[in-house]
Structure 1
């Protein structure tokens, strides 16, 4: 089976083709970073217009790279939400048009389920159900038990900022360029991660929830203390703050994941594996910290390649494939959704 996937939920326009034996025949991604950089963040109207301008060409490129005609597809999947609604509309309407014109099934994929199932595309049987999922991105931070396609049990989530949002806001306070998360990771490489004392919100507390607003506020206070009478932080100070922030986040994630692994083991008889997904999963320092945790707990960390952690259409095509194999197709009157929690998905019992 072969599925075309489209992703337009934020600031990447993407099209990909995957097969049911986990081959990625094409994976095209067009970033809008240059269009949004002058504003220091994603502007929804600009994003939607860019998706509209480029989605057709990207679909043509993906199909050409895969060496396929539309009649050879078994389905077409598109992110149906959550996301910036203007962009989601572009992808959904494009996929519906392809499905209608070529009489193939349409699949509305939850963007978060795309991230959640990526490890099953890249890791195969190692990511057999059930597994524990840490979903970390600019807009989401949650721990879930993944029992199957459409079956997610939320164990905990952020009570304020998502971890990716905390990275971006901290980077902005440090004067680092957009996008902030990758810039902060680069700055941290030359810093001392023990140089600045920062809090670890909720560490040691019961449960699996996260909180990052207090950590972000603490960084602001440390910046004010360091500045004193000087105008700007030195490069060394920026590096130390970035490294110390990154270490604090890693400690918080490890602590919360440890609690979730205990809960998971009580329910399923084993602590994992732990799958990490979402844009923040590309951070190598955080991956290393979670690898240490899983080794200590006698399980393993499954993390997709960096190129499949950030938004892409291969994950949407694969999630569509998994749903197609279960007969979970969608009607052409499906309405795109700006909000769509994972635990509201339908699956096969």
Structure 2
């Protein structure tokens, strides 16, 4: 009988504990090549993200290169399913919740199959034994070759706790709790916006990884070494948030500015639904209208040049001057010299124009504040599309325009000018942030950060204000939107920093980034539970 057969036949079954079946105890006579290492060579996490309409699960391995002592990471699994909200032209709470309930368990099951093989699992594969030769799993009537016992269990379970839609967050959080209890692993709750801010560090670790590089067996002796290093200025721009954050350390994030009404991503999505032709919207097949608005205004350029394949997790990090020069041929944009010039030049050839939000508020004083606003821009675009323009006064009338009265060329200009006004507004706040808290690095993260026109305007604005040498860091577009990979990385960083979460935590709908370590309780948590009266 082969050693592995004796092992499978000789393991005793234990009583099933309340939290589920345990792994079989391996006998001390196990061959050396099957014994686990006294110290792990890596830190492994399974992560779940369900804050909005994306159901995402990832398996991330973090370790350290033995020769350079640089932190590296590898994604064993990463998959996202987005709820189909096309019929509602926006995120529908019930549809997204049902999508999480339908898809999360399937994604977790698929992720488990991609966990790294354990020592025992590798031995089974190398011996190529059949299920009959291995015997049956001692706890379940399933084949050993498909058992979780042959997989290396994660060291922790990472999950988004907030901010986001509470029901959606709870779906992911409850699933993560179940995995943590079943496997006896710690639970690591993650702040969604902190994860976005750390995404460039994840991309740097992923880009550095090479399958053949030597890995240290004592990774815990080396602190995480990735770029960008703290401190840096973060611009977190998405469909639900627009924040200007000074990230001094992993847990110290000062919110310097935020939007007073809607987020920039929501603004662009609504402008897209107003401006884009109906046939373009119908062909979209999704609700990523902001990205559709960009491609409509700036159609992707076809190129026949053959060059090196861009890495999947390529992290763009260059100075403002370098980035401006790289994309100067694609965009025509000049930074206004002063406030007066900005107000004059915004009139288009069609007679209408869009100014930066808040540029006229309080006599222009708010243009020097950290406050941001995007609802007014959305309303201005809506009025231009809806009403005729007086050719003499260049003011809107009360005469409604028929949809066919707006040409495709004018619609493209509407998309272009609306994005320009929104992005100038955001870029101006980046300059104010650097003046308030000097930094050598600006991180652009969140779904809107994938917009190339935004990146170009930020680079040009920094150059115009003397910040030519400031490094701008952009995560790859695949990691800009909500995803479980960023949750996995944030969970690993927080875990190594000593953070731990109890199993009684609940989802947090509104969680200020400045209160990262002390999330606020919701109203139901703050109220005193009723006491039972004695009968």
Same topology, TM > 0.5 = yes
Give deviations 1:267-292, integer Å, cap 9, x for gaps: xxxx3300011111111111122233
Q: Which runs of 5+ in 1 are unaligned?
A: 266-270
Structure 1 stretch 121-130 or stretch 148-157: which is displaced more?
121-130
Q: 1:136 aligns with which of 212, 237, 243?
A: 237
Q: CA deviation at 1:293?
A: 3.7
2:381 and 2:414 in contact (8 A); partners too:
yes
Aligned ranges for residues 188-207 of structure 1 at < 5 Å?
A: 188-189=297-298, 195=348, 197-203=353-359, 205-207=367-369
Aligned to 2:245, what secondary structure does the other structure show? strand
From 26, 29, 54, the counterpart of 2:103: 54
| Cα pair distance change 1:6/1:234, threshold 3 Å | same
The range that moved more, 218-227 or 204-213, is 218-227
Counterpart position of 1:184: 293
**Residue number in structure 1 paired with 2:422:** 249
- Once the two structures are superposed, residues 61-94 of structure 1 have per-residue CA deviations (whole angstroms, 9 ceiling, x without a partner) of 2232343556531101111111111111110011
1 CA distance for matches of 2:96 and 2:429?
34
The question of 1:309 aligning with 2:410 is answered no
2:85 is matched with which residue: 26, 36, 40?
Answer: 36
Classify 1:229/1:207 alpha carbon distance in 2 versus 1 (closer, same or farther; 3 Å).
Answer: closer
Structure 1 window deviating more from structure 2 (13-22 vs 188-197): it is 188-197
Q: 1:276 aligns with which of 441, 444, 449?
A: 444
Query: CA shift at 1:202, angstroms?
Result: 3.3
TM-score, length-scaled by structure 1: 0.91
Q: List alignment gaps of at least 5 residues for structure 2.
A: 1-42, 63-71, 118-147, 206-225, 282-286, 300-330, 334-345, 390-398, 519-535
**CA distance 1:323–1:45, change in 2 (3 Å):** same
CA distance in 2, matches of 1:148, 1:4: 24
Please state whether the residue corresponding to 1:3 is helix, strand or coil: strand
Q: CA deviation at 1:159?
A: 1.3
* Aligned-residue offset at 1:326: 1.2
- Indicate conservation of the 8 Å contact 1:52/1:90, yes or no: yes
Are 1:107 and 2:188 an aligned pair?
yes
Q: How does 1:154-303 map to 2 (within 5 A)?
A: 154-175=255-276, 177=281, 178-189=287-298, 195=348, 197-203=353-359, 205-223=367-385, 224-225=387-388, 229-232=401-404, 233-265=406-438, 271-295=439-463, 296-297=466-467, 298-303=469-474
Q: For the structure 1 residues 192 and 130, does the alpha-carbon distance in structure 2 shift closer, same or farther, using more than 3 Å as the test? A: closer
Misfit runs of 4+, over 6 Å? 191-194
Residue in structure 2 matched with residue 268 of structure 1 by the alignment: none
Distance across 2 between alignment mates of 1:66 and 1:189: 41
Would the aligned equivalents of 1:7 and 1:312 in 2 still touch at CA under 8 Å? yes
Relative to structure 1, the CA distance from residue 62 to residue 95 in structure 2 (aligned partners, 3 Å threshold; closer, same or farther) is same
CA RMSD of aligned residues (A): 2.1
Q: CA deviation at 1:294?
A: 4.4
Which structure is richer in relative contact order (CA contacts within 8 A, separation 6 or more)?
Answer: 1
| 2:506 maps to which of 325, 335, 340 | 335
Q: Distance in 2 between matches of 1:73 and 1:335?
A: 22
Q: CA deviation at 1:148?
A: 1.7
CA separation in 2, counterparts of 1:236 and 1:13? 37
Q: 1:294 to 1:122 in 2, by over 3 A?
A: farther
Distance 2:183 2:115 in 1: 17
Residue equivalent to 2:161: 80
Alpha-carbon distance between aligned partners in 1 of 2:373 and 2:401, rounded to the nearest angstrom: 32
Q: Is the Cα contact below 8 Å between 2:115 and 2:152 reproduced in 1?
A: no
Find the aligned partners of 1:218 and 1:51 in 2 and give their Cα distance: 36
Q: After superposition, what is the alpha-carbon deviation per residue over 1:10-37, rounded to whole angstroms, capped at 9, x for unaligned?
A: 11100011122222222111111xx211
2:77 aligned to 12, 17, 26, which one? Answer: 26
Higher percent of residues as helix: 1
State the alpha-carbon separation in 2 of the partners of residues 290 and 322 from structure 1.
29
- For residues 231 and 293 of structure 1, what CA distance do their matches in structure 2 show? 35
Name the SS of the counterpart of 2:85 in structure 1.
helix
SS of the aligned residue for 1:321 comes to helix
Are the counterparts in 2 of residues 199 and 218 from structure 1 also a CA contact under 8 Å? Answer: no
Residues 294 and 300 of structure 1 are in contact (CA less than 8 Å); yes or no, is this contact kept in structure 2? no
**1:5 and 1:313 in contact (8 A); partners too:** yes
SS at match of 1:126: coil
